[in-house]
């Protein structure tokens, strides 16, 4: 039997692909953080924490180009696949696995116990 405080990774449903505009994003609000889900060119999907590694700007409000997003506050460019800032800037934002089943989106996050699987999503 698993302890309530044991951490594990789990897939959680976060909505439909059709709710995310092309070259746009959706915010998934979790109790512990907000995650931005990006729909880039070619329907490539990425999930990253919605906090720029520079000064915590909302990456979900940035401009998506290729597989990158430009932060709306000070224009750092972040690689969506790795979360790494593009040089000369240095920093990294956390990324998450994402998968598509039909049109349903799932992200893989660490959850504690059984009570934190609730997610609310908002189109950015």
The verdict on 71 binding ligand FES (CB under 6 A) reads: yes
* Longest CA pairwise span in the chain (Å): 48
Long-range CB contact pairs, 95-98, < 8 A, 24+: 95/46, 95/47, 95/48, 95/49, 96/35, 96/47, 96/48, 96/49, 97/47, 98/37, 98/45, 98/46, 98/47
The verdict on 74 binding ligand FES (CB under 6 A) reads: yes
Residue 31 vs 91, nearer CB to ligand FES: 91
The verdict on 76 binding ligand FES (CB under 6 A) reads: yes
- Taking the complex as a whole, the smallest distance from the CB of residue 114 to ligand FES amounts, in Å, to 35
The verdict on 57 binding ligand FES (CB under 6 A) reads: yes
> Which residue ranges make up the site for ligand FES (CB under 6 A)?
52, 54-55, 57, 71, 73-74, 76
């Amino acid at each position: 039997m698993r302890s309530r405080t044991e951490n594990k990774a789990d897939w959680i449903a976060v909505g439909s692909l059709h709710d995310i505009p092309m070259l746009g994003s959706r915010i998934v609000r979790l109790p512990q953080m907000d995650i931005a889900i990006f729909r880039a060119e070619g329907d490539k999907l990425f999930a990253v924490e919605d906090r720029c590694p520079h000064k915590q700007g909302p990456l979900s409000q940035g401009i998506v180009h290729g597989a990158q997003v430009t932060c709306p506050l000070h224009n750092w460019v972040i690689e969506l696949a790795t979360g790494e800032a593009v040089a000369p800037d240095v920093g990294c934002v956390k990324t998450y696995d994402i998968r598509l089943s039909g049109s349903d989106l799932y992200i893989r996050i660490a959850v504690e116990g059984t009570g934190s699987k609730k997610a609310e999503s908002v189109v950015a």
